[in-house]
Structure 1
Amino acid sequence: MPTSGRNLLLMTHRAQEYDVIIAGGGLAGRSLACFLSREPALTGTRILIVDDAGDHYAHRSLIYWHDKALPLPLVPVATFMSLAVDAGSAQRVLPLTRHRLCLTSSRTVFRCLDDVIDANPHVTRLDAQISRVRAHRGSVEVALSDGRLLTASYCFDSTVPPPGIKAPLLMSGEVRRIRTPHESFDPSIATFIDFRSGNHNPVHFHCVLPVSDREAFIEVTRIMPGRRPGPEFSFEQATSAYLREVWGVSEFSTLSVERGCIPLGIRSSPSRGRHVRIGTPSGAVKATTGYGFTRILRQTQHIASSLATTGSADVPRPSPRFRWYDKPVLRMWKHDPEQAVQFMKAAFTSGDADLVLDFLDERTTFAEEQRLLGSMPVTMLLQPRLWI
C-alpha cells in the first residue's frame, strides 16, 4: 500500500523538533506554509516559520497576469483585458485573449495566506534570526543567532542570498496613486512599459493602471547598474512630466506613494540537500523584469504538492535556455540602456500580447520562442560584449 507524504516525512524523523522549517516570512515563505497547510496528506505536519521582520514588511502594489485560476482567492483592485504598449511615437493597443493583467496589494495577498496559516494549529511563528543552516543526509540543523538549535526534515530558505553576491542591476521605482479632476483614463486598458517620456537620463519607463476614468496607479521604473550610484533622479518629477507631456494631464492629486527596489540578475543560490532555496534566492523572480508573484505561487504550490505525494521536495527548475535569453538583455541594460529600450519596444509590439506574457513567464515552447524572436531585432543580442 502506498505510504502518504505525511508518513514519509515522519517515518525516519519522529524525534525531530519540526518537520519543516521555513526561513523567511515574506511572499515565498508564507505561500509555502499556506500550501503545506492545505494539503490533506500533510495534516499535522509541524511547520516553523522563522522571520526577524515580523509584520513590518513594506506593502506594495503587485502587477501580475494569469491565464488560469490562481491558487489564492484574490479579488484584484483592477483587471485589464488589453495592453497599450510603446510603439515609438504612439501607443499600440493589444488585446489579451487568454490572459488577464491584474493589480492587487501585497497586503491583500498576505491576508489571504495568513488566513490559512493562522487556522493551522501546527504552524508556529518565531521572531528570530537564523545564523546557520547545516544540511545532513536525512535532516537539517538550523542555528539561531541567540544560540538555539533546531532540527527538521527540511529547511526552505527564502532569505537573501549569501553575503558577497551582488546584483549586476537594480530596478528601483515608485508607484503613485493619483486622481484627476477630469476623465483621463480608460479603465479597461493597462499601459505597460511605456518609454515615452521627455527625459531618458537615466532611462526609465512608466506603467499606467487605471482603476476608474479619473484614478490610476502610475508606476515609474528605472534600471541602473547595481554597483555604482546613478544620477540624481526625481520619481515625482518624472511622473508629473510623463502625465503632462504624454497624457495631457497637468493637474492631479496624489492619494498614496510606494517606493521600492528589486535586484536584477542575481544568480540563484544552490540548494544543498534538505536546505532548499525558494523564492528570489532560487531564481523564481524573472531576471530581466523583476516579476515573480505568480512564479513564486506556482513554485511553492508545486513543492507542497510533491511533499504530499512523494515525501520529497521537488523544486521546479527553469529551462537553461531562458538564462541564455536573459544574459545579453541584462548586459544590454548595463552597457547600452538606449539600445535596451529599442529592444524592449520591439518585444512588446510583436502583435501577440499573450505570447509575450507567456515568454516572460518562461512558459513558452521552443517553437513559440522561435516565432516570437523572429519578430524581434535579435541581431542586437549578438554583439560580443553582451556575452563576454
Structure 2
Amino acid sequence: MTGAARAGAGPDRPARAQVAVRREPVDFDLILAGGGLAGRSLAYFLSRHPGVGEARILLIDDSRHYQHRSIVYWYDGVLPLRLTPSASYTTLAVDTGAGLRTTSLHRHTLSVTSSQRIFECLDGVIDADPRITRLDARTARIDAQQDRVSVVLADGRSFTAGHCCDSTAPPSRVAPPLVMTGEIRHVRTTRASFDPSVATFMDFRPGDGEQPDRFHCLLPVSSREALLETGRITPGGAPALARPSDAAAAEYLRRACGVADFSTLTVQRGVIPLGLRRPSSKGRHLYVGAASGIVKATTGYGFTRILHQAERIASSFAAGGSPRSPEASRRFRYYDKPVLGLWLHDPDAAVRFMRAAFASVDADLVLDFLDERTTPLQERTLLGSMPVGMLLRPRFWR
C-alpha cells in the first residue's frame, strides 16, 4: 500500500522463522533493534559499504509477528536494491474529478512487489556477512548512556554497543492525528478485464454510499489478475472502515472495470499512522524507519524513503563510526501540515486538492514533490496551479 511505498499487513509468514546464530558476543559496535524493512535495509547497506571495516553489528529480528505485505513504490533512476517487481507501470490513470485521465511517466516507474521478495533480497547479503549477528528475539528496553547504549531483550539477555538504531515502534504513545486504513485484495476474473500496462492511481470517485475519504488503486499483474487497494484516511480515533471493504471492492470493480464475476485470491489489511511527529534521538539511541517519522505524512508512502534513509545512515556510520539520520526538511513539513489539517477537518476539500495535483501538471513533478525532491521553483510551479487558497484557513495550521 506502503516512494515511497505504502504498506498493508497480510497473513503470510516468512518461510524461515528461525535463523541460526553464528556468534553471540555481549558487546557490539552497532545494534539494530528491529529486523523489519528499516533494520534489514540498514544492515544491507552497512554490509555493502566499504568503509564499515570490521565493525561488529547485531540485528535483533523478532520474526514471530511477521505479516508479509504488498509494497507499492515509485523510483526515478536506479533503485538502490536489486529487486524484481511483480509488476511495473509507466502509464497512470488518475482521478481528475471529471473522470480518469491517462498520463505517462517519463522519469519514474511505479512498481509493486511483496515484502517477502524484499526481505529475501536483503537477507541474501546480510546472512553472508560474518560481521553481522542476527538474533531472533524481541527488544524489551533500550537504555542510552553517555558513552554506551544497552539493549535488553524480552528473555532477559542484555547487549551493549556504541550506538543503537531503533525501528521497533514509534516512541510516542500519543494517537496520530490521522490513520490510513484499508486492504489490498488480489483478484482474478473469468475473462480478460485489465490492461497490464496501466495502473489506476488514487481514484477517489465515490460509489453508492461511500465516504469522500475512500480511494482505490488498481494495479493489474495480468489481463485477468490485479491488486485492488481500497483505503480510507480518517482521524486517529475514528473507526477503521464504516462499510465492509469487500462490498466496496466488488462495487468498484463493477463500476470502473465492468467486472461482475471475480474471485479473491488473498486479502491483506493494515493501518498506517499519518502525521506522527518525528522524534528526537537521544544521544546514542537513533530512531529509524517508520519509528523516525520517515513515512510521508500526507500519503503513507515510505519504501524508497526508508531505503534512502538507510543509505545515508550507513554512510555516516562508515565515515565516522556514528550513525546520523538525514535532517527532515522544514519546508516540506510546512507543506504537509495544512494538507493533514484538510484531511482532518474537510475530507471533501482534501479530495479536491489531491485531484488538482495530478490534473494540473505532469505526474513526474508530483511524484518528485511527494518524494520531497523538488526545488522551490518547481514547487512554485506545482502549487501555483493548485487551489492552495483552501489551505489558508487557520484551523488547518493548529
Same fold (TM over 0.5): yes
Determine which of 320, 330, 333 is the counterpart of 2:330: 320
Bigger mean CA deviation after superposition, 352-361 or 164-173: 164-173
Q: Which residue of 1 aligns with 2:15?
A: none
Matched, 1:366 2:376: yes
Matched, 1:277 2:287: yes
Q: Which residue of 1 aligns with 2:89?
A: 80
Q: Which residue of 1 aligns with 2:153?
A: 144
Determine which of 159, 163, 170 is the counterpart of 2:179: 170
Q: Which residue of 2 aligns with 1:8?
A: none
Matched, 1:338 2:348: yes
Q: Are 2:163 and 2:322, in contact at CA under 8 Å, matched by a contact in 1? A: no
Q: Are 1:202 and 1:230, in contact at CA under 8 Å, matched by a contact in 2? A: no
Q: Which residue of 2 aligns with 1:226?
A: 236
Q: Which residue of 2 aligns with 1:39?
A: 49
Q: CA deviation at 1:335?
A: 1.3
Q: Which residue of 1 aligns with 2:118?
A: 109
Q: Distance in 2 between matches of 1:143 and 1:256?
A: 37
* 1:101-250 → structure 2 map (5 Å cutoff): 101-198=110-207, 199-201=209-211, 203-229=213-239, 232-250=242-260
Q: Which residue of 2 aligns with 1:70?
A: 79
Matched, 1:378 2:355: no
Q: Distance in 1 between matches of 2:273 and 2:169?
A: 11
Q: Deviation string for 1:257-310 (max 9, x for gaps)? A: 111111111111211111111101212100111100000000001111121123
Q: Which residue of 1 aligns with 2:271?
A: 261
Q: Distance in 1 between matches of 2:53 and 2:106?
A: 39
Q: Are 2:212 and 2:351, in contact at CA under 8 Å, matched by a contact in 1? A: no
Letter in 1 for 2:68: H
Aligned-residue sequence identity (percent) comes to: 57
Gap regions ≥5 residues in structure 2: 1-24
Letter in 2 for 1:88: G
Q: Deviation string for 1:207-266 (max 9, x for gaps)? A: 011112221111100111112325632111001111111221111121221111111111
Q: Distance in 2 between matches of 1:265 and 1:144?
A: 29
Letter in 2 for 1:111: E
Gap regions ≥5 residues in structure 1: 1-14
Q: Distance in 2 between matches of 1:166 and 1:127?
A: 29
Q: CA deviation at 1:349?
A: 1.5
* Normalised TM-score (structure 2): 0.90
Q: Are 1:94 and 1:351, in contact at CA under 8 Å, matched by a contact in 2? A: no
Q: Distance in 2 between matches of 1:163 and 1:308?
A: 30
Q: Are 2:185 and 2:228, in contact at CA under 8 Å, matched by a contact in 1? A: yes
* Normalised TM-score (structure 1): 0.92
Q: Which residue of 2 aligns with 1:92?
A: 101
Q: Are 1:318 and 1:362, in contact at CA under 8 Å, matched by a contact in 2? A: no
Q: Are 1:196 and 1:246, in contact at CA under 8 Å, matched by a contact in 2? A: no
RMSD between aligned residues? 1.7
Q: CA deviation at 1:48?
A: 0.9
Q: Are 2:74 and 2:108, in contact at CA under 8 Å, matched by a contact in 1? A: yes
Q: CA deviation at 1:16?
A: 7.3
3-state SS in 2 of match to 1:19: strand
Q: Deviation string for 1:133-174 (max 9, x for gaps)? A: 232333222233444332101100011123522111111111
Q: Distance in 2 between matches of 1:318 and 1:162?
A: 17
Q: Deviation string for 1:100-135 (max 9, x for gaps)? A: 001111000000011111111222222333333232
Q: CA deviation at 1:41?
A: 2.4
Bigger mean CA deviation after superposition, 315-324 or 284-293: 315-324
